Structures are given as structure tokens and as C-alpha cells.
Amino acid sequence: MNFFLETLRFIGLLIYLMLESLFLLFIPVRKKNVAGEIVLITGAGSGIGRLMALKFAHLGATLVLWDINQEGNKETARLARKNGTVRVHDYTCDCSKRQEIYRVSDQTVKAFVPAMIASNHGHVVTISSSAGLIGVNGLADYCASKFAAVGFAESLALEMLALGKTGIKSTIVCPYFINTGMFDGCQTKWPLLMPVLDAEYAAEKIVSGILRDQVYVFLPRSMFFLHALKGIIPTKIGVLLGDYLGAFHYMDKFTGRAKKTEDNKSQ
């Protein structure tokens, strides 16, 4: 195809997709039905993982729950069965160890993405963070892992499109601080603009985004604006904005989730 025809095609599709996006601002996308679908949740033993499991249980999904915390994972399974579904399978799994993932996956499905490709059906959900979009003072290691998660998810989604596997969806979740205890002590300078998120609210928004096949779920919505600004404003203005938003001091009073000790285990 020559340059003129290719450019004409691009402009035509660009106009169509912009009009489609404008239309969808006013007409909500219909949520898909996940009843009977297999939903694998890693880190299901507590926090957002548990809350998402309970919401998918209520929707009638078959749950496969992974967590290194066996006790917490079994409690999530019990609550899920009580919350609406009896098809719950819980497995103890350390997702930081490749062989552990292979061992547990043999008890559920042999492979994930290859199986999705074969059936052209599935949904990959990546729980990253707003720290996977913008670097944060005091969180270099955390930001590195979350940037990697976003990059991996975006690349995988594009690979599926290149293969013509349009039935495999991708959702990348990038929330601000959530009050699960993981970031206890962290402070936000302007709570109205950048609030610490309630865990129940965050889980509801994440599940809603998945059901609507939303590619990105940024929480709060102000993250859309800040992420877009990062790519168009000069670096010095970005630093000024970060200072104004308190980004240099988020971690000043960080304590994190309290670690269990032998003393409080016996109490």
C-alpha cells in the first residue's frame, strides 16, 4: 500500500475511533457476564485480592485462589462460598518462584496464555500501581517492579492483537495508595485531589473495569490527567507539580503493615 492510501486509511480510522470514544463517554459499555468463567486471583488471601474474589464469587465465577498465606487463602475461599459460589479452589503458592507456579498450575490448568490463544478467549488483569506510571521518591524498587508490570502487560496485549486474538482482553490497574495496611503511614497532601483509596471502593472499580473490558483503570480519576501531563510538560514543570502535590514526602512517615511477631501470634 502506498503512502497516500495508508495515510488516508489512518486518518479515517482516527476520526472513527475519536467519535467512538466520545460516544462511549455518554453511553456506558455493557458489562460482560462472567458466570461460570474461571477467575484466577493471585494474592487472594487478603486485601484487594480477597475483595475481588468475593465480588467475582457474587457474580457466579469459578474461583482459583493463590496465596503464600494458606490460612488467609482458606478464609477467602470460605467467604467466597458463603458469598455466592461453591466452585472455589484454593492453593498455596509462592508466585515469586517459577517452579511453584508450574506445580500449582498443573492442579488447575496446564498453561494460561497458550490455552487462551487456542480458544481466543480470556482476560489478563495486571494489578500495577500509579507508581508504575510516575516515579516516586523513596519507592525506587517498588516503582521498578510496577513499571515492569505495566510494560509487560502492554506488550502482551499488543502481541495478542498482532496474532488476531481479539477475544483475549487486557486490563491494567494503576491505583494510588489503598488503605489495606500495606502503605500505612503514607500521607497525601491534597486528599480531595489524591485521596487514599478505600479498599472496598478500589475493588469495586477494578472489577467494574474488568467487566467492561477497560484497558486501563486509573484510581482516582485524577491519575488520568497527571499521567497525560507527564508526557507533554517540560521536566522542570513536572518536578514543580510533583512538589506541589507532595510527591517528595509521601513516604516520610511510612510504617507499612505491622509484621506478625511470635508475641502477637500467641495473643
The set of catalytic residues is 142
Cell of 261: 511477631
| Conformation bin of residue 246: beta by default, left when phi > 0, alpha when psi is -120 to 50 | left
Tell me how far apart the alpha carbons of residues 85 and 108 are, in angstroms, rounded to a whole number: 17
What's the Cα-to-Cα distance from 188 to each of 63, 99, 176, 182, rounded to whole Å?
35, 39, 10, 15
Q: Which residues have a Cβ under 8 Å from the Cβ of 35 and sit 6 or more positions away?
A: 59, 60, 61
Only one residue has cell 484497558, namely 215
Tell me how far apart the alpha carbons of residues 258 and 70 are, in angstroms, rounded to a whole number: 19
